[in-house]
Amino acid sequence: MVVLLTVMNQFILQPDQFGNAEKLEMAVLKIKRLLSEESFKKNAEILQLVAKMNSK
């Protein structure tokens, strides 16, 4: 989810809104594809745990 928010922030700040929408859609599709891969999913879960521990 952090990756998605970072990607969204990169594209929302640019002036070309139509281009931003296309780039955001492509980024979301890539994220969905990555999350369906088991190894990436496990790494994402580990990173979320580490981020939670670091935020305390």
CB atoms within 10 A of CB 7: 17
Higher pLDDT, 5 or 42: 42
- For residue range 6-47, list pLDDT tens digits in order: 555 555 555 666 677 788 889 888 888 887 888 888 888 899
Q: How many domains does the chain have?
A: 1
Which domain covers residue 31, as residue numbers?
A: 2-55
Based on the number of CB atoms within 10 Å of its own CB, is 14 exposed (0-12), middle (13-18) or buried (19 or more)?
A: exposed
Dig out the tokens for 9 from the structure.
């922030």
Q: What is the DSSP string of 12-26?
A: HTSS-HHHHHHHHHH
